[in-house]
Structure 1
Amino acid sequence: MKSLLAFILIFQINICYPQILPGARQTALSNADIANGSNLFNIEVNPAGLNGISGTELGVFYSPSPFGMKELSTGYAVFSYGFENLRLSLGYSNYGFELYKENTLYFSAGKNLFNNFSAGISLSLTNISIKNYGNTNVFRINCGTIYSVRNDFNIAFSIQNLTNSKVKNDSQPLPVIYNFGLAYSPVKDISLNLAAEKEVRFNTSLHFGIEFIPIEFIALRTGIANEPDTFSGGAGIFYSRFNFSYAFKNHNELGITHQIELIYKITEQ
């Protein structure tokens, strides 16, 4: 019965879009951080944020039972390597269960175009497998920018599904999503994040998140969003070259989702 409910839920959400966006840090901030990058898991919403990463990193993300349903489990793995003024990332995600599965490969690139302006692009190829109905592939392009007005204030803009792609035999293309974000740090250890997400057929969704670092190896995070109404929170622990984060998101109708991520910095530069 749970498998059937999960199958129905999948088709109430956009097929071929990440049902659970990657990144425990992002989730804890209610995905309000598109202007406050420097994280491996920006490959989906704003790849321009990859430019804030230093050195070589490898990260994994896992959400075992979104909304209490293990059939919706989601996993990501991302590797990122930086050149002098260019960053390349490779990613893989797996979502679903025996009736419906999505496997996605990502190739992302980010570049600092000017001292205070960066841009990024993410190419993804998703294989969709539906039991008794076969397989199909969908190619998408996401892109984004981040502009640093000052050291403590960033503005960002990104587009998901720039290609207006659609699933084979589906008359309607996948939605194009526009994201706009602001990030402001009033003091060194506090970051305020605001984002607006607009899909053409739906109301604008607003996201707000706060990150507070009380001591150098711990980060506390919380956020809220509407359309749909959600509340989220979590924490990060930094130790040596490891960065561990936990997040939860509470959906008013679907319940709580738990997530974890682990990032390892292979090289510093």
Structure 2
Amino acid sequence: MRFRILTTTLLLLFLNAASQAGVFDSRYPSARATAMSEALVSVPGDFWAPYINPASLAGLNNWQVGSSVQRLFNQPFLQNAFFGALMPLPSRFGTLALNFEFFGVRYEGNTLSQENTFTLSHGFFLLNDLHSYLSVGYNLKYYYWDLGRSVEDRNLGAAGAFGFDVGLQASLYHRIFAGVYAYNLNAPTLGNRVKHDLPQRIVVGVGYRPMTNVLTTLSLDKTVGFDTHAAAGIEFWPVRWLALRAGAMSTPNRVSAGIGLKFKGLMLDYSFQNHPVLPETHKIGIIYQIGGANQ
């Protein structure tokens, strides 16, 4: 039993190192974003905007609820799920969102690690007219990390910390887009005796819509202590109810693809993303919106 737990723990560490991940590393709930290699920081967002750029919440003006699950590197012991709700405020006050993420490592009924993140997000327009807009948004987050129990059945402890993100987004003629997103600006840490620095990132990007049913994107993503990676994505709506998406990124070199199906207020998204060393990641999400129309 101990050997199996040790083997799983070592594999988890390998996965973290290989994917440049760490405690509370950014994991995207949006299958749309993953299908486009997460290159959406600059363009109008969807329900999962708080994880990509909270400024794009400003353009969402309907009530929504949603959930997403992903199978990281196709490993059953890596469990990751997201839940959220979106609430529009009176137009000049923007939009609020509440989100919850669960990430756990379980093997044969034993919890080796569990990360929970609670997020309150707000986005609103600073400028919004017929030809252009400028929006700002922020996330207030609470991280809670539980290390579970050791092989000797000892409680390994738990810790919590607060994080703060901010984003900006702008558009000209609703065809040219630019955005920036700063993640964990307050440099939060977890733990008392041993400090764990939570990841800090900055993402910048641009987007261009050559036709009303085509969107192209490009972004640069820098996590402190790691290499900068570039990503690009494309989204094409051949008909009103079907979206086709694809993307690619560097360091590590990965490609992705996915589809979206839309029926009335229901949106179903799926994405696939490969990895040069590890197995692929699959993600599926569902969103239900009530009334209204997005920018």
Question: Which of the five TM-score ranges fits, normalised by the shorter chain?
Answer: over 0.9
Root mean square deviation, CA, Å = 1.6
Distance 1:201 1:177, change over 3 A: same
Residues 126-165 of structure 1 mapped to structure 2, 5 A cutoff = 126-132=143-149, 133-165=156-188
Moved more, 215-224 or 161-170: 161-170
**Pick from 4, 8, 17: which aligns with 2:9?**
4
1:108 is displaced (CA, Å) by 0.3
User: Identity of counterpart residues, as a percentage?
Assistant: 26
Alpha-carbon distance in structure 2 between the residues aligned to 1:125 and 1:171: 17
**8 Å CA contact retained: 1:183, 1:193:** yes
Q: Does 1:15 align with 2:38?
A: no
SS at match of 2:188: coil
**Pick from 60, 64, 74: which aligns with 1:57?**
64
Residue 90 of structure 1: aligned partner: 98
Q: Does 1:109 align with 2:91?
A: no
Moved more, 240-249 or 146-155: 146-155
**8 Å CA contact retained: 1:57, 1:267:** no
Q: Does 1:119 align with 2:136?
A: yes
**Pick from 39, 47, 52: which aligns with 2:54?**
47
Alpha-carbon distance in structure 2 between the residues aligned to 1:71 and 1:172: 23
SS at match of 1:251: coil
Residue 37 of structure 1: aligned partner: 44
Q: Does 1:27 align with 2:34?
A: yes
Alpha-carbon distance in structure 2 between the residues aligned to 1:10 and 1:43: 25
Instruction: For residues 173-221 of structure 1, give each alpha carbon's deviation from its aligned partner in whole angstroms, at most 9, with x where no partner exists.
Output: 3332110011100111110010100123222100000000001100000
In structure 1, what residue type is equivalent to 2:83?
A
1:106 is displaced (CA, Å) by 0.6
SS at match of 2:162: strand
Q: Which has the larger radius of gyration?
A: 2
| Normalised TM-score (structure 1) | 0.94
**8 Å CA contact retained: 1:77, 1:93:** yes
Instruction: For residues 89-133 of structure 1, give each alpha carbon's deviation from its aligned partner in whole angstroms, at most 9, with x where no partner exists.
Output: 001110013110111111000011111100100111111010231
Alpha-carbon distance in structure 2 between the residues aligned to 1:87 and 1:101: 30
Distance 1:200 1:119, change over 3 A: same
Alpha-carbon distance in structure 1 between the residues aligned to 2:16 and 2:276: 19
Alpha-carbon distance in structure 2 between the residues aligned to 1:260 and 1:215: 21
Which structure 1 residue ranges, 5 or more long, are not aligned?
none
How many residues in Structure 1 have an aligned counterpart in Structure 2?
A: 267
Moved more, 238-247 or 133-142: 133-142
Q: Does 1:76 align with 2:99?
A: no
1:171 is displaced (CA, Å) by 4.2
1:44 is displaced (CA, Å) by 2.1
Which structure 2 residue ranges, 5 or more long, are not aligned?
106-110, 150-155
In structure 2, what residue type is equivalent to 1:89?
A
1:15 is displaced (CA, Å) by 0.6
Residue 99 of structure 1: aligned partner: 112
1:172 is displaced (CA, Å) by 5.7
In structure 2, what residue type is equivalent to 1:233?
A
1:31 is displaced (CA, Å) by 0.2
